[in-house]
Structures are given as structure tokens and as C-alpha cells.
């Protein structure tokens, strides 16, 4: 079986931070209990909700189960699938998203071996409106003995949202995150494509790059995107600009896809994992404070930050810093603004966390 290097790196991050934290001071504090804690609410019942997208009606959150760093199974234990789940915002409940299969030649690669089924182990996800009006949900997958981009249509029937599998693209290298494009293609990160034996993935040195996939040309590396652990990726609505997180380098990059060049890089005080758009067309970046030792008042895998980035100016301001807030959630990987709230997810654990959105 192919070794999944980047998921092993995430697992190592958690273990290392816990071990070092224990070695330097008291053991990591237990996570806060489910429920409200002032204006912060812990929404338990998830399984490693590594990424988040909202349904078009704004009533639900779509979350993958990145169980065991992409190596595990779903909420029923080791024998059950790590399926896609949906969180009902009003009811505060999680449920499995129903999936049907309808292979289509105009979705994905012609060599796709067929539906992933219960073998799906989701990681980064991206929801976009496809030319023609369908909502496409692209899911980075690590299950079923294949590293792939699984392509679903998100569709509402009788008030409930479900997924229809239409195609896939299988890669020789591990994906991490994806930005689905209206033309059916996508842009995605390969975080460990350049990894060599003995390389320290947490050093910030270039370890991977970004690719663009189209049905006509397949995967093509985007020049100038070799950075330290390329992670979260976004594309502007007009398709002109790409925004890319260099996780281990603590950087966010802006790239002109038309001109084929990088425009600006900003530094953050945490490791930016995924990035999402806000309703006001700003960018939210979220991630853990570091890979080793203690970060402020707790181990680095529990300490995290959220920043809002102006995509035009490429200037960042802090939205949330976990320092002094207690052990809310471990392994933070995403922040998603919806309504008056920001929902925080993680690459491990049993919860989402809800905080007020900035006014």
C-alpha cells in the first residue's frame, strides 16, 4: 500500500506536540466540554472535520471525516466508512450525507476506475457552481487504495442535501486541498511531491507544489508554486488570482494565474492550513501555532489562530487567538464564516467550535 506521507506528518505533529508539551511542563489540558462557554460554543459529534463548506441555502455545513489523518474509518469505528457528513446549523446535529452514483464522461478523467463508494476518506473540499448551473463538490480522497479527486454534484431533494458521484481523477501524488473551477477543472496542492528522505517537513523548505488539472491537458504544475508544505488554496471568482498557504513556512501567497507569477507573500504567526472566503469577499486563514513544544499557555497542537486577509492589499489582521481561551479544539485546520458566526474545524477530534464573527 502506498505510504501517505503528508497524513503521517499531521499525525506526527499531534504526537510530537503532545510529547514535547508533556516533557516541558504539565500534561496537555483536557478539551473543554461540549456546549456554550460564554460567546464560544463547542459543537461535539463531528469526526475530524478538516474542512468546511456551506450548502447554498446557508442552513447546513458540509464536513469530511479526515479520521486518523486520512488513514482511519468513520464514526462507527474501524469497520465503517469515513463518509461525508452534514451539520444542521439550527438543530446542531450531524448526519451522513446520502450518496448515489451516476458516472458522467464530462466529469473527471476518462481513466477514472469508478465510484469510490464507502472507501472515501475525505480531506480538503471545494464547492463551486459549474458552467451549466450544477453545484460541484470536489473532495480530496485518500481511501480505496487511490489518491484522488472525487467529483460529486451537490443536489437538494425534498429539503435535504445529498451527493451524486459523477467522476474522479486519480493522481500519483497525494493531494491536500482543492479549488474547484467552473469549467470542471481544478487547482490543487501536492504538499509532499518534492519530499526527499530525511527532509524535515516542518522546516519550511519547499516540499511540494500546486497543479492545475483540466480534462484536456491533465495535471500540470503551476510554475513558481514550490513552497513549504503547500496546503490550503483558493481561486478568485473571476479565475484570475490564486491564494496559497505555505503551512510550515507560515505564509500566504498571492499568485496571478493569467500572468503566471507570484504577486505578494505575507507572514502569519501561526501555520495557515485551509483558507475560505467570507461573505464580504475577504479570506479567513486558520491553523495551529506551531509544530513543536509549547505555544503560549498550551501545547502547539491546541493553540491556534485565525486571521482575516484582504485579498487586494494582502494585509492580515487577527480575528481570533486561542491564547487564554482554554483548550477548545485540537489540530485547527479551517475557519468558515456564515451569518454572524465563524465555525472552526480540525484535522482531528470530535468537534466544531463556533465563535462570533467580527462586526
Beta carbons of 74 and 99 less than 8 angstroms apart: no
Side-chain-facing half-sphere of 4: CA atoms under 13 Å: 24
Beta carbons of 108 and 92 less than 8 angstroms apart: no
Residue 180 confidence (pLDDT): 98
Residues in a beta bridge with 137: 127, 152
- Per the rule left: phi > 0, alpha: psi between -120 and 50, beta: everything else, 217 is alpha
Which of helix, strand or coil describes residue 68? helix
Place of cell 475577504: 282
Residue 334 confidence (pLDDT): 98
Which of helix, strand or coil describes residue 356? strand
Residue 290 confidence (pLDDT): 82
Question: What are the helix (H) ranges across the chain?
Answer: 5-24
Residues of the chain with pLDDT under 50: 1-8, 10-24, 74-80
Residue 208 confidence (pLDDT): 97
Query: CA–CA separation, 129 vs 136, rounded Å?
Result: 6
Which residue, 207, 233, 225, is CA-closest to 262?
Answer: 225
Query: CA–CA separation, 252 vs 308, rounded Å?
Result: 11
What's the sign of the alpha-carbon dihedral 324, 329, 330, 331? Answer: negative
Beta carbons of 215 and 185 less than 8 angstroms apart: yes
Query: CA–CA separation, 251 vs 212, rounded Å?
Result: 21
Angle at CA 170, nearest 5°, toward 169 and 172?
140
Residue 83 confidence (pLDDT): 73
Residue 70 confidence (pLDDT): 53
All three cell numbers of 77: 469505528
pTM over 0.85: yes
Per 3-state DSSP, the chain is made up of helix, strand and coil in percentages (nearest 5) of: 10, 45, 50
Residue 159 confidence (pLDDT): 83
Residue 29 confidence (pLDDT): 87
Beta carbons of 98 and 117 less than 8 angstroms apart: no
Residue 295 confidence (pLDDT): 73
Q: Which domains does the chain have, with CATH numbers?
A: 5-356 (2.120.10.30)
Query: CA–CA separation, 6 vs 329, rounded Å?
Result: 21
Residue 9 confidence (pLDDT): 53
Q: How many CB atoms lie within 10 A of CB 11?
A: 18
Residue 82 confidence (pLDDT): 52
Query: CA–CA separation, 200 vs 149, rounded Å?
Result: 27
Measured in Å, how far apart are the chain's first and last C-alpha atoms?
Answer: 49
Rounded to 10 degrees, the C-alpha dihedral 67/73/75/80 comes to 170
Beta carbons of 222 and 202 less than 8 angstroms apart: no
Amino acid at each position: 500500500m502506498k505510504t501517505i506521507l503528508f497524513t503521517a506528518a499531521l499525525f506526527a505533529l499531534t504526537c510530537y506536540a503532545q510529547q514535547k508539551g508533556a516533557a516541558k511542563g504539565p500534561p496537555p489540558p483536557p478539551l473543554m466540554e461540549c456546549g456554550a462557554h460564554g460567546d464560544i460554543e463547542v459543537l461535539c459529534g463531528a469526526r475530524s472535520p478538516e474542512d468546511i463548506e456551506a450548502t447554498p441555502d446557508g442552513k447546513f455545513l458540509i464536513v469530511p471525516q479526515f479520521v486518523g489523518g486520512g488513514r482511519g474509518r468513520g464514526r462507527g469505528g474501524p469497520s465503517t466508512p469515513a463518509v461525508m457528513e452534514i451539520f444542521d446549523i439550527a438543530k446542531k446535529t450531524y448526519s451522513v450525507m446520502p450518496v448515489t452514483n451516476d458516472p458522467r464522461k464530462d466529469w473527471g478523467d476518462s481513466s477514472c476506475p469508478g465510484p469510490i463508494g464507502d472507501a472515501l476518506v475525505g480531506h480538503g473540499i471545494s464547492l463551486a457552481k459549474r458552467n451549466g448551473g450544477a453545484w460541484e463538490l470536489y473532495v480530496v480522497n485518500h481511501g480505496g487504495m487511490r489518491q484522488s479527486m472525487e467529483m460529486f454534484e451537490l443536489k437538494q431533494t425534498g429539503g435535504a442535501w445529498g451527493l451524486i458521484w459523477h467522476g474522479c481523477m486519480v493522481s500519483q501524488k497525494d493531494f491536500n486541498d482543492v479549488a474547484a473551477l467552473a469549467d470542471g477543472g481544478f487547482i490543487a496542492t501536492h504538499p509532499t511531491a518534492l519530499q526527499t528522505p530525511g527532509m524535515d517537513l516542518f522546516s519550511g523548505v519547499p516540499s511540494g507544489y500546486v497543479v492545475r488539472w483540466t480534462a484536456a491537458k491533465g495535471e500540470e504544475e503551476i510554475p513558481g508554486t514550490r513552497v513549504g508544505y503547500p496546503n490550503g488554496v483558493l481561486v478568485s471568482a473571476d479565475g484570475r488570482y490564486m491564494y496559497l498557504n505555505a503551512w510550515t513556512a507560515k505564509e500566504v501567497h498571492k499568485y496571478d494565474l493569467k500572468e503566471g507569477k507570484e504577486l505578494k507573500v505575507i507572514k502569519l504567526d501561526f501555520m495557515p492550513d485551509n483558507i475560505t472566503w467570507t461573505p464580504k469577499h475577504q479570506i479567513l486563514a486558520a491553523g495551529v501555532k506551531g509544530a513543536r513544544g509549547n505555544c503560549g499557555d498550551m501545547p502547539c497542537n491546541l493553540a491556534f489562530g485565525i486571521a482575516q486577509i484582504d485579498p487586494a492589499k494582502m494585509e492580515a489582521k487577527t480575528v481570533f487567538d486561542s491564547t487564554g481561551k482554554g483548550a477548545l479544539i485540537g489540530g485547527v485546520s479551517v475557519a468558515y464564516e456564515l451569518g454572524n458566526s465563524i465555525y472552526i474545524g480540525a484535522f482531528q477530534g470530535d468537534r466544531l467550535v463556533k465563535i462570533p464573527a467580527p462586526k
